[in-house]
Amino acid sequence: EFITISRAATQVEPTVIGIKTGERYTRRQLLTGLLVRSGNDIAAALAIDNAGSVEAFAEKMNLTGKRIGLISSNFRNPHGLPSSGQYSCARDIAIVAFEAYQIPAIREIVRTKTYKFVFNGDRGVYVLSNTNRNLRSWPACNGMKTGYTDAAGRCLVSSANIDGEHRISVIIKSTTSQ
């Protein structure tokens, strides 16, 4: 299904893919752009589509979090940018990663090394490169996600299949790049 981008979704910074108000994209295209390259504008667009607002989506995130066993997290937005009262820990992020890993479509997207994000009309194509360097340097790695804020430092959630066993690791507040 298609999502029409709202103005509110385009007002997020700093990391944006560059979607514009009124443009239409499939949910799959937006989800892939989000998971491959961390477009905060895309996170907002998907949240608004799902729940009507970023705030309502954060409420849904918190309810889902409680249901799956998160005990040290409170979400205020869908992209992880700093917000008063928002926090999490490596344990809770590992639980979220495990839940996401159970979904074949998510596993397929997070192992994507590059993705051609096709903009509406004649705006062209933006080639998104996955920031998880493990995908290129470690054959066992099969995906997940990087992130960064001043408060959280450099973060990495990485998944791997080692001798047929699936593993997820979480690193937060690192001072070195992934």
* Per-state percent for the chain, helix, strand, coil, to nearest 5: 35, 25, 35
Q: Measured between alpha carbons, how far is residue 63 from residues 52, 60, 66, 84 in Å?
A: 16, 5, 5, 18
Structure tokens, 51: 């729940």
In tens digits, the chain (178 residues) has pLDDT values of 999 999 999 999 888 999 999 999 999 999 999 999 989 999 999 999 999 999 999 999 999 999 999 999 999 999 999 999 999 999 999 999 999 999 999 999 999 999 999 999 889 999 999 999 999 999 999 999 999 888 889 999 999 999 999 999 999 999 876 4
Closest-CA residue to 68 (of 45, 92, 38, 39): 92
Phi, psi angle pair for 91, to nearest 5°: -60, -50
pTM (2 d.p.)? 0.93
Taking the C-alpha atoms of residue 94 and residue 141, their distance in angstroms, rounded to an integer, is 16
